[in-house]
Amino acid sequence: MRPALACLTLMALTLPARAELAYVTNQGDDSVSVVDTATGAVVQTIGVGAKPAGVAVAADGRHVYVTNPEGHSVSVLERTNGRLTLAAEVPAGAGPLGVVVSPQDGRVFVADWYGDTVAVLDVAGQTNAAPIKVGQSPSGLAIDPEGTRLYVANRESDTLSVIDLRTLDTLATVPVGHAPFGVTVQGGRVFVANVQSSDVSVVDAATLKETRRLAVGEFPYAVAVTADGSRILVTNQHSGTLSVFDGAFTALPEIAVGDYPEGIAMSADGTRAYVAVWMDNRLAEIDVAAGKVVRKIKVGESPRAFGTFLAPP
C-alpha cells in the first residue's frame, strides 16, 4: 500500500492547477467567446448587446456581466449546467464601459463614460442605489479584495476616484497620469494605466497617494499583477507589447503579443496571463515566468475583454 500511496501523492503534487474559463467580449460581432484555458478551445459563443467591451465575472463564476457601450446596456449572463444563457439585458446609462463585481455582496458597479457616474446594480442587474458621481469619462473599475473600496479611473479628469462601498461616498480623488483607463488592485497598491502619458501610476492604498510612475509602451490599456506581486504586466495598444516589471519595479524584457493588445487577466496561480489582441482576433496566452507567448487562441471579432474575465469552470 505504501508505494501506491507514494505514487498517488506524487501525482497530486504534479497535477496542474484547475484551468479557468476566459470570457472574452468581441466588440466586432456582438458576442462573448467562452474559452477553456486548459485546452484552448472556444466551448461556447453567445450573443450579447451592441459593441460589447467591459466584462466582469462573479467570484463563483455563476454570473457574467458585459457592458455594451453602443447598446447602452449591460448583458447579464447566467451559467447553468456548464452553459451560459442571456438572463437579462438591462439599461445602463449613455455609455457603459468598465464593470466590476463586489466579492463580498455581489453588487455590480458600471462606469458610465458619458454620464460621469457609476451605476450600482444588484445580482440580477437591477438598479440597487443612486448613481455615484465621479470624474469625467469613468472607464476602468477595481475593488479591493476586502470589498470595502471601489477605485474608478476618470479618463478626462486625470484622476482616480476612491469610493467607500459601505456608504458609497467618495473618500478621495487622487491625481494620476494623463488619461487613466485600466485599474488593478494588488497587495495594498493600485495600478492605473495612463493612456496618453504612456505610464502606470502606482497608488498606495493606505495613504491614497501616488508613489511612483512606471514608464511603459505606447497607449497602455490595462494592468495585471500576480497574487504575490512578483510580476506586473501592462498591455500597450500602440506598441503591440506587454511591459513587464518584477516586484521591485525593475523593468524586464517586453513581450510582443500582436496588434493592439487590450484586456489582460492573470491566472489564479500566477503562471499564465491572457491578453485580448484586438486586431488579431486572438486571445494570447503568456507564460509569465518565461516571458513569452505560448499559444494564440482564435476568438470572435475585435476582442476587448476589458475587466476581470477569468473564473473557475
CATH number of the domain bearing residue 237: 2.130.10.10
Number of domains in the chain: 1
Show Cβ contacts of residue 60 under 8 Å, excluding neighbours closer than 6 positions.
312
In a domain, 184, yes or no: yes
The string of DSSP letters for 31-58 reads EEEEEETTTTEEEEEEE-SSS--EEEE-
- The cell for 24 is 472574452
The answer to whether residue 7 is domain-embedded is no
Domain with 122, as residue range(s), is 19-311
In a domain, 122, yes or no: yes
Residue 8 lies in a domain: no
Q: What percent of the chain has pLDDT over 70?
A: 94
Beta-carbon count within 10 A of 249 CB: 12
Domain membership flag for residue 11: no
Q: Assess if residue 296 is contained within a domain.
A: yes
* pLDDT tens-digit map of 184-222: 999 999 999 999 999 999 999 999 999 999 999 999 999
pLDDT at residue 18 in the model: 55
Does residue 201 form part of some domain?
A: yes
CA atoms in the 13 A half-sphere facing the CB of 202: 19
Q: Does the reported pTM lie above 0.75? A: yes
The pLDDT tens digits of the residues spanning 1-40 come to 333 333 333 333 333 455 899 999 999 999 999 999 999 9
Model confidence band, residue 60 (pLDDT cutoffs 50, 70, 90): confident
- In a domain, residue 2? The reply is no
pLDDT tens digits, 81-114: 989 999 999 999 999 999 999 999 999 999 999 9
Query: How confident is the model at residue 59, as a pLDDT?
Result: 87
